[in-house]
Structure 1
Amino acid sequence: MTKSLIAALLLGTAAIVAGPVACSTGTETVASGTELGIEKSWMDTSVKPGDDFYAFANGAWNKATEIPADRSNIGGFVIAFNETEKQLGALIKDIAASDAADDAAEGRIRNLYKSYMDTAAIEKAGLNPIKPDLDRFAAISDKKALSAVIGSQLRADVDPLNATDFNTENLFGIFVTQALSGGEVVPYILQGGLGLPEREYYLSSDPEMAKLRGAYRKYIEDMFAAAGDKDAKVKAARVFDLEMKIAKAHATRDESENFTKSATLWTRANLEKNAPGIDWAALLDAAQLGKQGKFAAYHPGAITGLSKLVASEPLDAWKDWLAFHQISTSADVLPAKFDQLRFGFYGTTLSGTPEQRSRDKRALAVVSDLLGDDLGQLYVTKYFPASAKAQIEGIVGNIKQAFGVRVQAIDWLDPATKAEALKKVETIQVGVGYPENWRDFSKVKIAAASPYADVQAAQKAEYAHQLAKIGKPMDKGEWWMTPQTVNAVNLPVQNALNFPAAILQRPFFDPKADPAYNYGAIGAVIGHEISHSFDNNGAEFDSTGALRNWWTDADRKKFEDAGMKLAAQFDGYEPFPGLHVNGKLTLGENIADVAGLAAAYDAYRASLGGKEAPVIDGFTGDQRFFIAYAQAWATKMRDAALRQRIATDGHAPGMYRALTVRNLDAWYTAFDVKPGDKLYLTPEERVRVW
């Protein structure tokens, strides 16, 4: 849950009832009225906790739960996701029937939702809405005109969870925030231009990847054919061949994840000198960046390589590439044949999902994505009480304090390193539920019955909103997620965290449940996000959000040694024969899991005031804490989706993240885990980070 946090997944509930594990302290059971929190029906207590803790906590759920036909996976995030979707659906139903003015929040929401739902009008319009853009691409006559069109297509990357990559229809992405060196807010230039998830899909010799490349090439051809193009096969070949060259120009995943190799500030003159091939004056003028004098070149090598391709590749290839991606990324607001083709490739072939989500749920997602705070304000007013916000803020304060105590107790840290670490903890800004200042969408014109135009208008408005931040002081309180997002994020350059309202419900938080449950579930999420400030990437930033080495060499070696042990631990997990979790790729998330869970546990124990927690329904407090954590990571994935996760995602699959518990001494005591148990690690093998 941070730079590339797990997407919201869908989860079913299990009907199998399992009894509690037979191990308790003998403390008196708590008085009636305190809720257990954990789901006993999910558990399989025939499994020994020390052999497979994930199956112990979630085995019955895994056996009884089917992945919905319209999903590639289901998991522990779903109860919150499903509940939020129901709540937003109820809001939308009322808004859709309202007579609110077009320039009011309810009017914008109503217009976008209804136009997206009017599939008859979309069919009747055919390709007419997109035709001006396709004609614009077809009219490109030289490289200067091509550069200008590429610039006009630039959009803001507003996803901080994937802000190091921008694989969309745009050759480059723009991400606006403080420079890695600190101080000024600048536009970051990011690599883009790929239709497959990342470069390895194009370059890997793996047979499965080769099959996906063939399917992708066929998808490109089918899209052109659906648009009535008689040269569909030829154009598809040109687009695919161009993307192969784009992929070769891209930075690798490891390079992209390494902030220290990407803290490159270029002046306008540097841009012209270091990346020849593009007409940068034409591109930047069209991108509304013509007067900008400084850029963060996040992928400097890729920017150079992509610029050379603009100069070297035929205009026809670029025009075909622009047309294909404009159609492909707009497929949901074009006639059904385009929508079905896109889902067939991205949904079924790439992720293994048999059926597309219903149109009303997709319409809801589009409104939430494009008019986030318009909908978010209405959502929190109705569904997020002040009492829940206050309770979470109390837990946050306790975990911050616990994390500080842990840092203070580390005997190998140099005093200066320790002082800066403590300063990071003390000054981290935590947003709970929703932002203090809401985004104003009043300038976004959403007209009825024009979904393609509405989507384009909203994206352009977001781009203008992001560009307006350039040159101004960084706003540490800025939110990068809407309140209705089931997620959480750490923002290293802001030294800030966002915990949206939608994740502050079951299975992560229940105000009626006992503290062990809440600290094990949402507390571990909070601890995770705090710990991201100290993972292998976050630890590169100081308390001001600047990329700076505040470590001694000895401190750094100790830290990296612990990281290597954790990477090796996750390398050992093997979801398919011969296919292992990538411990290096997932290291940042895994460090945050270990450190966050440890801090949440310490905060939970401190909350007891020196007393033992009561036994509830046969479970001790420590048992409830660890089971709650594991149940938050209940996960079931289709094979294709799991393979994609292993190949591209910085997060290990949830069933392996649940096993983080094996690094905490308290887990061994709580479940009487002994040498010989499959998950047993000797005290020396247990990874302790922070």
Structure 2
Amino acid sequence: MHLNRNLLFLALACSLAACKPASNETATAPATPAATAAAAPAMGVDLAGIDKNVKPGDDFDAYANGAWRNAAQIPDDRSSIGTGYEVQKKAEQRNADLIKGLAATNPAADTDARRIADYYAAYMDEAGIEARGLEPLKPELAKIDAIASKTDLARVLGSGLRADVDPLNATNYHTENLFGLFVAQGLQDPEHNIATLMQGGLAMPDREYYLSNDKEMVATRQKYLEYVTALLKLAAVEDADAKAKAVVALETRIAKAHASIVDTQDVHKANNPWEMSAFAKKAPGLDWTAYFTAAGLSSQKTIVAWQPAAITHLSALVGSEPLQAWKDYLTFHALNHSAGLLPKAYADLGFGFYGTTLQGTPKQKERWKRALDSTNNALGDAVGKLYAEKYFPASSKAQVEGMVKNILAAFGERVDTLEWMTPETKAKAKAKAETMRVGVGYPETWRDYAALEIRADDPLGNRLRAEAQEYKHQVAKLGAPVDRGEWWMTPQTVNAVNLPLQNAMNFPAAILEAPYFDPSADAAANYGSIGAVIGHEISHGFDDTGAEFDAQGRLANWWTPEDAKHFKAATAKLAAQYDAYEALPGLHINGEQTLGENIADVSGLTIAHEAYKKSLDGKEAPVIDGLTGDQRFFLAYAQSWRSKMRDAALRQRVLTDGHSPGRWRAQTVRNIDAWYDAYGAKPGEQLYLAPADRVKIW
């Protein structure tokens, strides 16, 4: 997917450590598609969620999901709910059963089971956390306090570099550290892993939160200043009011240096391998020798500067801003990053800003749910191995692999029918599709956590050591052969991803559940839901970013000039279509920012429908409860994107994410000819597009 290649099924994935997606259900929660599928497996769609007062041609999302949305209540500890929430809730409960059950077995020392049990127990030890106060963070605070020169500052900044960004697989451009590291095979060198440096340094989600004159943003900035001040005061930092203003002022200068999301998504602008000696010349201000030595990267010959102008400007700020301002900045960031595992007063402050102010969520998740999130972040493969063994049967794996095979075959047949594409480009597109590596359920090899120290009495230390261990794991890849089978999601993750550098896809076990996938459901529902997901990920190999990579995952132009011109014209029309959608008063979706995801939605839905028709073997689909096969197919698709979101969370999604909100992803159907045949949309209805105006790419 478009420099943002995870599907993002959860209605909102918060990028900040202090605010993670929550999953729970209240007593007033509405009937869900999962429940409907269980009651009537032959159907696979939620008839009760339909609002028949809405014409499908006016608003297909409101038609498919209007009754559900009217009845749905967002739980107090959620910023949004939707179909992904229901599937996530199932995965969460399974994780809870697994992790809580381990403690009862008293697992042996130095095993993954022991590490999981101790990590979770430490997180749940609220009394111990209160008793220790700031003690676990004092080594970090002392290191910051000891900074006496700009070289010392460079060392501290370098020692804090983490592998917490991912521009090509996970839509993750955010790090609180001044820079973030991404390690993967080179853009033009499939045989070697390369280190990539990306901009960072902001505690709010994006530069727009610091720079926009929108009244909502101005109000958010004031609340952010209040939060910074309160956190410093709670930690007994002297002159907290003045230091908080200095921190926010420095972050505002950092924000001005940042590249926009649209520029960050442009892989050609990102292809900037710098020799190590060039950093001092191209980005003066930061002592790069000290920085890279502390970061363990001094042996590298080159490092890619993903946002070169931003890296230059951020380095200049290190040189120009007073040392004390940087020390205050680092002190705040250390407190902010760790707030969730400090005493309750710190955790409550953090949630108040990141949960309530930024996402509109009134209540923090129960602690056991936060403990599950943190355990999964730290020991994802260890938990995932247990999850896959217990909850993902071989029969489901085989059935999904069969669907993938069918949809890839449909894609190849679709390419053959494209009138606008030359034979030369068709051959290369088909070769890329035919060589895509598909991972279903779980990886072939598992991460080794033997070097990670987990202690039952050190929750904050556990988390910080896990982050440092992940960094070491990623840096170690720089001297190792490229692993083309590497997974970038854990089995218990409700999501899916396309990996352009590996020409591969991952479909974790946890997403392969009803209503996305039900082994006993009608084929129309499965192809409209998980089939469209599979088609979406395949299509990411051919979106505005994926189309830039060849079958070996190399950044290479494999298009003829005529084909490239047609492709760009079609995608520009799609961007304009999404620019017209108004998410909140005065706030429109950015069609360019979300283009890759929108391309994958249109193309993925197209090939999923063709694969569904192919699966019928020339037979007519049965009519079930008055719905034809195509009607069920498109209804399942729209219901897979059903969501209800708080305004603050919606605003953050539109401003910072490469995915359009689910409501508008459901409207993708307006570009598919078969939808018009199925639902009879007519001229004059709001979604209607004349045949010539419907976007057709693949």
TM-score bucket of the superposed structures, by smaller chain: over 0.9
- Deviation per CA, 1:572-613: give whole Å up to 9, x if none: 211223221111111111000000000000000001011111
Counterpart for residue 641 of structure 1: 649
Moved more, 8-17 or 572-581: 8-17
Is there any run of 5+ residues in structure 2 with no aligned partner, and where?
Answer: 12-22
- Deviation per CA, 1:379-403: give whole Å up to 9, x if none: 1111110000000000000001111
Shift in alpha-carbon separation, 1:673–1:302, aligned structure 2, 3 A: same
Give the aligned residue type for 1:685.
Answer: D
1:491 is displaced (CA, Å) by: 0.9
Counterpart check, 1:142 vs 2:149: yes
Shift in alpha-carbon separation, 1:128–1:216, aligned structure 2, 3 A: same
Q: Secondary structure at the match of 1:50?
A: coil
Shift in alpha-carbon separation, 1:665–1:599, aligned structure 2, 3 A: same
Counterpart for residue 3 of structure 1: 5
How many Å separate the matches in 2 of 1:687 and 1:164?
A: 24
Counterpart check, 1:424 vs 2:422: no
Match of 2:61 among 54, 60, 72: 54
Match of 2:124 among 102, 117, 120: 117
TM-score normalised by length of structure 2:
0.95
Mapped contact 1:249–1:306 kept (Cα < 8 A): yes
Q: Give the 5 Å matches for 1:163-178.
A: 166-178=173-185
Mapped contact 1:43–1:58 kept (Cα < 8 A): yes
TM-score normalised by length of structure 1:
0.96
Runs of 4+ aligned residues of structure 1 deviating over 6 Å after TM superposition are: none
Counterpart for residue 599 of structure 1: 607
1:571 is displaced (CA, Å) by: 1.6
Shift in alpha-carbon separation, 1:125–1:87, aligned structure 2, 3 A: same
Q: Secondary structure at the match of 1:77?
A: helix
Aligned-pair Cα RMSD in Å: 1.7
Give the aligned residue type for 2:656.
Answer: T
Counterpart for residue 14 of structure 1: 30
Give the aligned residue type for 2:624.
Answer: I
How many aligned residue pairs are there?
A: 677
- Deviation per CA, 1:614-649: give whole Å up to 9, x if none: 111221111110000000000101011111111111
Counterpart for residue 16 of structure 2: none
How many Å separate the matches in 2 of 1:297 and 1:608?
A: 50
Q: Give the 5 Å matches for 1:225-240.
A: 225-240=233-248
Mapped contact 1:351–1:638 kept (Cα < 8 A): yes
Counterpart for residue 92 of structure 1: 99
Match of 1:294 among 295, 299, 302: 302
1:8 is displaced (CA, Å) by: 2.2
Counterpart for residue 15 of structure 2: none
Mapped contact 1:629–1:658 kept (Cα < 8 A): yes
1:272 is displaced (CA, Å) by: 2.3
- Deviation per CA, 1:153-203: give whole Å up to 9, x if none: 011126567767543331110100011122321110010100111111111
How many Å separate the matches in 2 of 1:267 and 1:453?
A: 35
How many Å separate the matches in 2 of 1:215 and 1:584?
A: 30
Counterpart for residue 103 of structure 1: 110
Q: Secondary structure at the match of 1:205?
A: coil
Match of 1:674 among 671, 682, 685: 682
Counterpart for residue 670 of structure 2: 662
How many Å separate the matches in 2 of 1:35 and 1:197?
A: 43
Counterpart for residue 476 of structure 1: 484
Counterpart for residue 413 of structure 1: 421
Give the aligned residue type for 1:132.
Answer: P
Counterpart for residue 281 of structure 2: 273
Counterpart for residue 48 of structure 2: 41
Moved more, 639-648 or 346-355: 639-648
Mapped contact 1:433–1:500 kept (Cα < 8 A): yes
Mapped contact 1:622–1:670 kept (Cα < 8 A): yes
1:487 is displaced (CA, Å) by: 0.3
Shift in alpha-carbon separation, 1:646–1:169, aligned structure 2, 3 A: closer
Q: Give the 5 Å matches for 1:183-202.
A: 183=190, 184-202=192-210
Shift in alpha-carbon separation, 1:248–1:158, aligned structure 2, 3 A: closer
- Deviation per CA, 1:266-299: give whole Å up to 9, x if none: 1111222211111111111111111111111111
Identity %: 55
Give the aligned residue type for 2:685.
Answer: D
Match of 1:440 among 427, 448, 451: 448
Give the aligned residue type for 2:668.
Answer: T
Is there any run of 5+ residues in structure 1 with no aligned partner, and where?
Answer: 21-31
Give the aligned residue type for 2:146.
Answer: A
Q: Secondary structure at the match of 1:175?
A: strand
How many Å separate the matches in 2 of 1:11 and 1:632?
A: 18
1:16 is displaced (CA, Å) by: 10
Give the aligned residue type for 2:563.
Answer: D
How many Å separate the matches in 2 of 1:219 and 1:433?
A: 41
Counterpart for residue 23 of structure 1: none
Mapped contact 1:646–1:652 kept (Cα < 8 A): yes
Mapped contact 1:169–1:322 kept (Cα < 8 A): no
Mapped contact 1:147–1:279 kept (Cα < 8 A): yes
Counterpart for residue 76 of structure 1: 83
How many Å separate the matches in 2 of 1:660 and 1:118?
A: 47
Counterpart for residue 628 of structure 2: 620
Give the aligned residue type for 1:47.
Answer: V
